[in-house]
């Protein structure tokens, strides 16, 4: 049996909005796309580590579990209160949830293009590995890439990690005890860290073709939105969707404001209701699909 940890607690500091909630085909966001692949290829427990936007992320996971047969007893979520201190804190939170595990396959919620067949190959490699092997990892030209399987014998060292260190810090000194699966370059290793990468993948995977309700546009001057933009840019997490495009909470129907002249790097704002997880997901989905349709 192969257990898994899905890391979905990052700050997304280079993106803005919680990237794991971006659309990934009808009925899916990036996080649930990864969950679907993991549930199909693996037979063990799946721990989803939450951090930023945890309330919405938990709602997404719960909805996915409700509509996916056979996974309700396998999928658990855990909140990493220390996610701002780096990936090591999320790894530790996930491992602590897998009592008695022989190891864990670590996946990232922002790598949604890994085909289930690749994960099945990894599961087979894990199940047939020799006793001296402590890790099984995907690779591109010999360089380790996620997903990575960590034997439980490495868990004590993982629990001693600090800051933004991941498994790489441990594996770098154990190359002879790592089995690499050379998958070569391709969409599977797309790590969505910014809007151009997401946009490229959305077009290649067909996600950008999802039908959506167009958002009405209006033009405004910088003076009309100056106070709102200033307050948003001063916040700890600025909700950029794409460069220059903000997604903000508001009242009434969703609308798109085009600034007649850019102000502090902002040229457009999508405003809509986001008081509940469902409302926020709908707002983010419409904004994203609208931006893709407009060629942003």
CATH of the domain at 43: 3.90.550.10
Residue 201 resides in a domain: no
User: Quick one: pLDDT at residue 14?
Assistant: 73
User: Quick one: pLDDT at residue 211?
Assistant: 96
99 and 224 in a single domain? The answer is no
Q: How far is CA 218 from CA 41, 116, 239, 270, in A?
A: 46, 43, 20, 10
CB 18 within 8 A of CB 59: no
Residue 23, SS3 per DSSP: strand
Cα torsion 224, 227, 230, 236 to 10°: value is: -130
In the numeric block, which tokens belong to residue 21?
């909630």
Ranges of residues in the chain whose predicted pLDDT is under 70:
12-13
Please state whether beta strands 135-140 and 143-151 pair in parallel, antiparallel, or not at all (unpaired).
antiparallel
User: Quick one: pLDDT at residue 15?
Assistant: 86
Q: What is the torsional sign of CA 189, 97, 135, 162?
A: positive
Q: Which domain holds residue 235?
A: 211-293
User: Quick one: pLDDT at residue 13?
Assistant: 67
237 and 164 in a single domain? The answer is no
**Tally of domains in the chain:** 2
147 and 263 in a single domain? The answer is no
Residue 138 resides in a domain: yes
User: Quick one: pLDDT at residue 277?
Assistant: 98
167 and 223 in a single domain? The answer is no
220 and 271 in a single domain? The answer is yes
In the numeric block, which tokens belong to residue 288?
């994203």
184 and 216 in a single domain? The answer is no
148 and 219 in a single domain? The answer is no
Show the CA angle centred on residue 267, arms to residues 263 and 272, nearest 5°. 110
* CA within 13 Å, CB half, 59: 12
Residue 108 resides in a domain: yes
100 and 68 in a single domain? The answer is yes
CB 281 within 8 A of CB 56: yes
37 and 168 in a single domain? The answer is yes
């Amino acid at each position: 049996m192969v257990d898994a940890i899905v890391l979905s607690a990052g700050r997304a500091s280079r993106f803005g909005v919680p990237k794991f909630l971006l659309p990934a085909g009808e009925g899916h966001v990036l996080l649930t796309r990864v969950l679907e692949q993991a549930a199909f290829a693996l037979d063990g427990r799946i721990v989803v580590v939450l951090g930023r936007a945890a309330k919405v992320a938990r709602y997404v996971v719960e909805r996915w579990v409700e509509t996916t047969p056979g996974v309700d007893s396998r999928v658990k979520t855990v909140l990493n209160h220390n996610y701002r201190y780096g990936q090591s804190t999320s790894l530790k939170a996930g491992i602590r949830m897998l009592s008695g595990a022989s190891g864990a396959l670590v996946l990232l919620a922002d790598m949604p293009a890994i085909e289930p067949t690749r994960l099945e190959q990894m599961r087979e490699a894990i199940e047939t590995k020799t006793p001296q092997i402590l890790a099984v990892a995907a690779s591109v030209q010999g360089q380790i890439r996620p997903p990575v399987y960590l034997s439980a014998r490495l868990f004590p060292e993982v629990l001693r990690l600090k800051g933004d260190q991941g498994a790489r810090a441990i594996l770098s000194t154990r190359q002879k005890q790592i089995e690499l699966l050379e998958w070569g370059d391709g969409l599977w290793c797309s790590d969505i860290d910014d809007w151009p990468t997401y946009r490229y993948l959305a077009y290649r995977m067909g996600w950008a073709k999802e039908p959506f309700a167009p958002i009405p546009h209006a033009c405004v001057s910088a003076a009309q939105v100056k106070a709102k933009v200033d307050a948003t840019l001063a916040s700890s997490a600025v909700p950029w969707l794409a460069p220059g495009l903000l997604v903000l909470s508001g009242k009434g129907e969703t609308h798109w404001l085009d600034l007649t002249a850019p102000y502090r790097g902002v040229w457009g704002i999508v405003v809509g209701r986001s008081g509940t997880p469902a409302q926020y997901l709908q707002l983010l989905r419409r904004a994203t699909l609208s931006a893709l349709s407009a060629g942003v």
